[in-house]
Structure 1
Amino acid sequence: MAYLIYGLLTVILVLAIITDKKTYKIRNKHLIIGTLLGVTINIAYLGIRGIVHSFLGFIFPIVILMFLFALGVLGAGDIKLFATIGAIMGIQFTAYVMLYAFIIGGMMAFIILVYKKLLIKRLTYFFHYIKNAILMKHTPKYYVANQDGQAVTMHFSYAIALGTIIHMINNGGII
């Protein structure tokens, strides 16, 4: 079962990275198919418990990460990718993947900001944002534009994929 489920997970992650790289979007059809296959596999191996396993794994990242989406910090596609991973692998696996992905994403963002010489500017904006949110008791969308007025973003699917691979290795699933 491990090879089948890790194979499905790998295909979903590769498709997510490809579409995210090309369009800054992760296609819903890939995520829906991955979720349905994950639920089907879990039902086949766990019976009725497979439905609960998949449902809880699916809903967990949505509930946990919705605040970051509301602030504009995390994209809907990233949350849906975490939810698909949850439907395939369950809550515990997904929680570890989320932890690893956010650590990796933070390191990626730090490297990008240092390379583009934007670290001080972004940290200043962040602390100003926090100060205003506390003083005004209001949390508007977190938005930082580059010199052209475009939102500054990164492909978080890379961090999600790396976090998943790290946890698959740590979980004894591959290598």
Structure 2
Amino acid sequence: MGSFILVLVLIISFFTDIKSRKILNIITLPTIIFGIIFNIYTGGVEGFFISGKGLLVGLGLLLIPYLLGGMGAGDVKLLTAIGALMGSSFVFYSFIYSALIGGAIALVLICKQKDFWQSMKKLLFNFTFFRGNLGSMVIDKNEKASRISFPYGVAIVLGTFCTLIWGGL
């Protein structure tokens, strides 16, 4: 039952994050509550601790990136809901897979950026011929367009599906 609810939540979150870049509270908060109640029902006091530990691990893994402005609160709540429903070990592996997938998505987006390959050519040329001022060619701190963002909930969903399919690393 827990896996069915998880898959349903993941599918809904995937589409809402792509469409509106939001992971809805109406999905994550009931999932957290359901996860706690379900684990208490199936495991008693031990189920409560499994759910509570998973909730705290899910929250803790993304809280600092959220506080630093690196992601939205919906991403944090989604990982928290996954932890409350499936436990700490599961949510930790989901986080690892999500980080790997998120990194791959970010790398693809960086490579697709217009000036990326031109900057790499300049950097390689200057490095090869020992020219100075290498850093200013790649990083322009004043240019806001250089920021790359994508709905990280997609990486969380795909990472969680990897955990469902393959388990821990």
Does TM-score exceed 0.5, indicating one fold? yes
Spell out, residue by residue over 1:118-153, the C-alpha distance to the aligned partner (whole angstroms, 9 max, x if none): 5577xx69x979xx9xxxxxxxxxx97327xxx642
Which structure has the greater CA radius of gyration? Answer: 2
Unaligned stretches of 5+ in structure 1? 133-142
- 2-side partners of 1:118 and 1:40: how far apart? 51
Q: Which amino acid aligns with 1:159?
A: A
- What is the RMSD computed on CA atoms of the aligned residues? 2.7
Q: Which residue of 2 aligns with 1:49?
A: 46
Q: Which amino acid aligns with 1:33?
A: P
Q: Which residue of 1 aligns with 2:15?
A: 18
Spell out, residue by residue over 1:79-107, the C-alpha distance to the aligned partner (whole angstroms, 9 max, x if none): 11000000001111000000000000000
Q: Normalised by the size of structure 2, how large is the TM-score? A: 0.79
* 1:156 counterpart = 2:158: no
- For residue 54 of structure 1, report the CA deviation from its aligned partner: 0.9
Which of 67, 82, 85 matches 2:82?
Answer: 85
Q: Quickly say closer, same or farther: Cα 1:97–1:119, change in 2 above 3 A.
A: farther
Which of 47, 63, 68 matches 2:65?
Answer: 68
Q: Percent identity?
A: 29
Q: Normalised by the size of structure 1, how large is the TM-score? A: 0.76
Unaligned stretches of 5+ in structure 2? 120-134
- For residue 29 of structure 1, report the CA deviation from its aligned partner: 1.2
Which of 93, 96, 99 matches 1:96?
Answer: 93
